[in-house]
Amino acid sequence: MTPLADAAALTAAWQDKAPGRSPHVLALDWDGTLVDLAEHPDAIRVPPSLPSLLNRLHNPPGRVVLIISGRARDDLARHLPGFAGVLLGNHGAEALGTVPPCAWRQMISEWARRVPGVWLEDKGATWCVHWRSVSAVERPRLLNEVQAFLDAAEDPVYRARWGHMALDIVPRAANKGTALAAWLQQHIGADWRTQALVAALGDDATDEDLFRVVEPQGLAVQVGDREPTRAAFRLPNPTAARRWLADRAEGA
């Protein structure tokens, strides 16, 4: 694994950049970043202290927390009762309004139905094909099948994005990075890059779009050992991410 700057270096960079910039924004992915991944999206375990930690970090106008996830906004809200910060769901697709139907939808759901261990998660504006429950022996064949499907399929509106043992089907216009940039532009202003300090934490390939948007003025933090990444910093797992955030809540 490529060594990246660690939690201590991240804290030093945060403390170096923070003075004179406002607000301080934490743009956080959810699964694999704040909570451990689970066999099924409904099976995640949310640490009881997490909602209050996030609320302590969200204290506008000086401190803002945005959760930017592939989950639907309502799903995030269900896991974070009382969260006062900002929830951007479905990779930002929910902000796009009505999107035309996906030509792949039927083909994908039929395929998912006949392959044991594969299931299709309907998140409203996006879909996700999961194969975490497929045995390791079966996975290479499965991935070849998925790749063959993608090579043959074309959809002007939707695209497929590989995730962690999952394939996200999202509108081409939806992107976590553009969703974050649009929010920052609307709520802070066109000069948000120089006014605000933004740190983005994420574990998956779709979080690279967040990293691209916050760099170089902000901080891009890969959670976990995924490679390659454009992030300059790495926290090893969600526990370490929550610990780093808890230190920020204490004002360190």
Let me know: does 121 contact 72? Beta carbons within 8 Å: no
Binder to Mg ion among 25, 29, 211, 235 (CB under 5 A)?
A: 29
Tell me the window of 53-61, 135-143, 169-177, 203-211 that interacts with Mg ion (CB under 5 A): 203-211
Let me know: does 90 contact 128? Beta carbons within 8 Å: no
Let me know: does 208 contact 19? Beta carbons within 8 Å: no
Closer residue to Mg ion in complex, CB, 75/203:
203
- Per CB under 5 A, does 94 bind Mg ion? no
Torsion sign (Cα): 86, 89, 93, 96: negative
User: How many CB atoms sit inside 10 A of residue 116's CB?
Assistant: 9
Compute the least distance from the CB of residue 208 to Mg ion, in Å.
12
Let me know: does 119 contact 130? Beta carbons within 8 Å: yes
Tell me the window of 21-29, 39-47, 123-131, 149-157 that interacts with Mg ion (CB under 5 A): 21-29
Compute the least distance from the CB of residue 163 to Mg ion, in Å.
8
Instruction: Please give the C-alpha separations between residue 23 and each of 32, 63, 87, 184, 227, in angstroms, as whole numbers.
Output: 26, 5, 17, 10, 30
Tell me the window of 26-34, 107-115, 133-141, 231-239 that interacts with Mg ion (CB under 5 A): 26-34
Binder to Mg ion among 25, 28, 31, 66 (CB under 5 A)?
A: 31
Closer residue to Mg ion in complex, CB, 178/193:
178
- Per CB under 5 A, does 203 bind Mg ion? yes
Residue 53 tokens read as 């930690």
Let me know: does 64 contact 23? Beta carbons within 8 Å: yes
Tell me the window of 54-62, 139-147, 151-159, 201-209 that interacts with Mg ion (CB under 5 A): 201-209
Catalytic member of 29, 31, 75, 204: 29
Compute the least distance from the CB of residue 39 to Mg ion, in Å.
15
The DSSP 8-state label assigned to residue 89 in this structure reads -
Residue 5 tokens read as 């700057």
- Per CB under 5 A, does 75 bind Mg ion? no
Closer residue to Mg ion in complex, CB, 23/32:
32
- Per CB under 5 A, does 32 bind Mg ion? yes
- Per CB under 5 A, does 208 bind Mg ion? no
| Total residues at interface with Mg ion (CB under 5 A) | 5
- The answer to whether residue 122 is catalytic is no
Torsion sign (Cα): 200, 206, 208, 210: negative
Alpha carbons 218 and 180: distance in angstroms, whole number: 13
Alpha carbons 91 and 96: distance in angstroms, whole number: 10
In the bound state, the residue with its beta carbon closest to Mg ion is: 32
Selection from 163, 103, 93, 175 nearest residue 126 by Cα: 93
- Per CB under 5 A, does 238 bind Mg ion? no
Residues marked active site are found at 29
Site residues (vs Mg ion, CB under 5 A): 29, 31-32, 203-204
